[in-house]
Structure 1
Amino acid sequence: MTVRQFKVWRGDSAGGQLVNYDVDVNEGEVVLDVIHRLQATQEPDLACRWNCKAGKCGSCSMEIDGMPRLACMTRMSTFEEDETVTITPLRTFPVIRDLVTDVTFNYIKARETPAFAPPKDVAPGDYRMQQVDVDRSQEFRKCIECFLCQNTCHVVRDHEDNKAAFSGPRFFIRAAELDMHPLDARTDRKEYAQKEQGLGYCNITKCCTEVCPEHIKITDNAIIPMKERVVDRRYDPLVRLGRKILRRDQLEQEAVAVTTLHPAHPTPQPDGTAPINWHRELTPPMGADVDEKGHLPLNELLSDRVGANSPFGDDVEFPVDPTKLNYYHPEQKH
């Protein structure tokens, strides 16, 4: 057993400070063990949220030496013996007390995200999926909702005003999973992600992927594919040309449908052109290209190729200097 130096943030929503502690540390222990010993021997009122101590509940999220981590999965052997380890709460969310933060924002966004929509023509118990579709979405289901990705995302971390219009990476992978699901009946996942979840705010710095304890490739396998599908539908030059060529016929057909369905209440466009039928049947999604065995071409998605460089640099060493992180918060002047 050796004595190690720690700085732990103590305070509440009104303010606080880092307090120095000397705590005994045994070989093989993790940071959560140290916090428990500190509670047992020196600070019985130190607030810390935890549950499983196995890296599966996501409760003990905090920042250790400036890096968002799970306390139960961060071994003390990661740090030098003469190093002072700094432990602070997640900076993106309001502090309740000490190391406990209010992550209500994430549960609000979870309620706003449209749930799985079962197919109307398939009875419960008769759902069938190919194994390749199961494997594709299984990665996103590993999420333990530790909200480290939400914490490190600079869109909400650095700009409080963005929270109303931005759901964050945890819910982008939820939208991507449902958009990839072959039995999900909703066809507007991409549009919802773009318009309601703020997908366009993300500039794919991969910070969320870097801190994910479940090693989910959030950026490469969820956010980028969703962005590509939105762009394909909205900005592809051939698609836009086709829309311009076919728009007149489309409007004429919609005008006839509107007059038939609602002859007394047509909905003209602002420029006075033919009205739009808001009650028309949506075009069903295009079927996926499959091979002779009925498998989807997922070579790109499932490849083991290396993605873009880490935002922390290729020569990163731990412990990370918090002043050198790209999401480091300087002290704000009030």
Structure 2
Amino acid sequence: MPTERTFRVWRGGADGELAEYTVEVHEGEVVLDILHRLQATQTPDLAVRWNCKAGKCGSCSMEINGRPRLSCMARMSTFEEDETIIVTPMRTFPVIRDLVCDVSYNYQKAREIPSFTPDPETRPGDFRMQQSDVERPQEFRKCIECFLCQDVCHVIRDHEENKRNFSGPRFLMRVAELEMHPKDTEDRRMVAQEEFGMGYCNITKCCTEVCPEHIKITDNALIPLKERVADRKYDPVVWLGDKIGLRKGADTPMVPNTRPNTYPEEDTPE
């Protein structure tokens, strides 16, 4: 039997306000279903972004009762019977209207990442990888770019000025994926630190907690990347090599990546 529930939904732009609605809810429905019913029956001009309704496109990201979530994966059965559901846009990004945000910041950061750079002398038939090296990027590539990890990251959520020099967890994960790739020749460790703000991340794991694909962003990407950056910046042997020019291209701040391209056993993606 359908029941009536109270929804409070953000209406307007950055200076908007919450509007209250009483709406019919059926068994098995998710929050996105209710928003569609509101559009159909009470407020046809409600702006909400969505696409697949299967938790795979990342389009319907918003905040539900203060928590960043995909509205198509937020089942109504998970809320208390008398609980008011408060639906607001992601707070880290500018509001266009209602529940739709301008997430262009994320695409700008994506363009800044150096692309995959294999050895130009390697022939396609010579390109071989261990199975563990294949499995590692597969975990990171599950990302659906919902940007919930970007939204919940307090480094950019609470400090607008950090957007200039901090890429956020989604793109630090991309840097880590490329840095750990055994066939990539680009050294991204100092780039991660100096251009993408690796040092701003204090590994609170909030990004991991909200990831709908259950990617271990902190444990398998951010922490290993921090370790590599620390090795490059503070290893006394590397420092000495820089000073006396024991490597090719001693006038550049990069050295060949010597860290093993493997996880500790406990961090291996399932």
TM-score (norm 1): 0.75
Gaps of 5+ in 1: 258-275, 290-295, 305-334
Task: Determine the C-alpha separation between the residues in 2 that align with 1:69 and 1:223.
Answer: 22
Residues 48 and 100 in structure 1, CA contact (< 8 A), matched pair in contact too: yes
Corresponding position of 2:172: 172
Task: State the match for 1:192 in structure 2.
Answer: 191
2 CA distance for matches of 1:201 and 1:62?
A: 25
Structure showing greater radius of gyration is 1
In the alignment, is residue 156 of structure 1 matched against residue 122 of structure 2? no
Return closer, same or farther for 1:41/1:184 CA change in 2, 3 Å cut-off: same
**1:5 alignment partner, SS class:** strand
AA at the equivalent of 2:232: R
Which residue pairs with 1:109 in the alignment? 109
**Relative to structure 1, is the Cα distance of residues 107 and 53 closer, same or farther in structure 2, using a 3 angstrom cutoff?**
same
Q: Is the 8 A contact 1:149 1:170 kept in 2?
A: yes
Tell whether the 8 Å contact from 1:233 to 1:239 is kept in structure 2 after alignment: no
Give the letter aligned to residue 152 of structure 1: V
Distance 1:128 1:74 in 2: 42
Deviation at 1:94, TM superposition (A): 0.3
Q: Which amino acid aligns with 2:77?
A: S
Aligned partner letter, 2:220:
N
Give the Cα–Cα distance (whole angstroms) in 2 for the partners of residues 224 and 279 of structure 1. 25
User: Which of 301, 314, 320 is matched with 2:267 structurally?
Assistant: 301
**Cα separation, 2, equivalents of 1:189 and 1:205:** 23
Look up the match of 2:237. Answer: 239
Residues 165, 125 of structure 1: CA spacing in aligned structure 2 closer, same or farther, 3 A cutoff? same
- The whole-number CA distance in structure 2 between the counterparts of 1:105 and 1:137 is 24
Q: CA deviation at 1:249?
A: 4.1
RMSD: 2.4
CA contact (8 A) 2:228 2:259 kept: no
1:209 is matched with: 208
Q: How does 1:1-334 map to 2 (within 5 A)?
A: 1-13=2-14, 15-124=15-124, 126-186=126-186, 188-236=187-235, 238-239=236-237, 243=240, 249-250=244-245, 278=251, 284-286=256-258, 288=260, 296=262, 298-302=264-268
CA distance 1:247–1:129, shift in 2 (3 Å)? closer
Tell me, in whole angstroms, the C-alpha distance in 1 between the residues paired with 2:224 and 2:231.
10
Q: Any conservation in 2 of the 1:209–1:218 contact (CA below 8 Å)?
A: yes
Question: Residue by residue, what CA displacement relative to the aligned partner does 1:212-237 show, whole Å, maximum 9, x if unpaired?
Answer: 0001111111111111111122124x
> Any stretches of 5+ residues in structure 2 without a counterpart?
none
Deviation of 1:297 (Å): 6.6
Change (3 A) 1:28 1:249: closer
Q: Secondary structure at the match of 2:179?
A: helix
Distance 1:154-1:75 versus aligned 2 partners, 3 A rule: same
What letter is aligned with 2:93?
F
Structure 2 contact 136–269 (Cα < 8 Å) conserved: no
CA contact (8 A) 1:7 1:84 kept: yes
Per-residue CA deviations over 1:237-261 (Å, capped at 9, x if unaligned) read x437x62xx66643xx89xx9xxxx
CA contact (8 A) 1:31 1:74 kept: yes
Q: Note the C-alpha offset of 1:86.
A: 0.2
Residue type at the aligned position of 1:183: K
Quote how far apart the aligned CAs of 1:80 are. Answer: 1.0
Question: What percent of counterpart residues are identical?
Answer: 64
Structure-2 separation of matches of 1:144 and 1:115:
19
Q: Deviations over 1:188-208 (max 9, x none)?
A: 211111010000001111111
C-alpha deviation, 1:125, in angstroms? 5.7
Q: Report the Cα distance in structure 2 between the residues aligned to 1:21 and 1:29, rounded to whole angstroms.
A: 17
Asked if structure 1 preserves the Cα contact closer than 8 Å seen for 2:68 and 2:148, the reply is yes
Give the distance between the partners of 2:226 and 2:242, measured in 1 at CA: 25
Q: 1:199 to 1:279 in 2, by over 3 A?
A: closer
Distance in 2 (CA, whole Å) between partners of 1:288 and 1:155 is 30
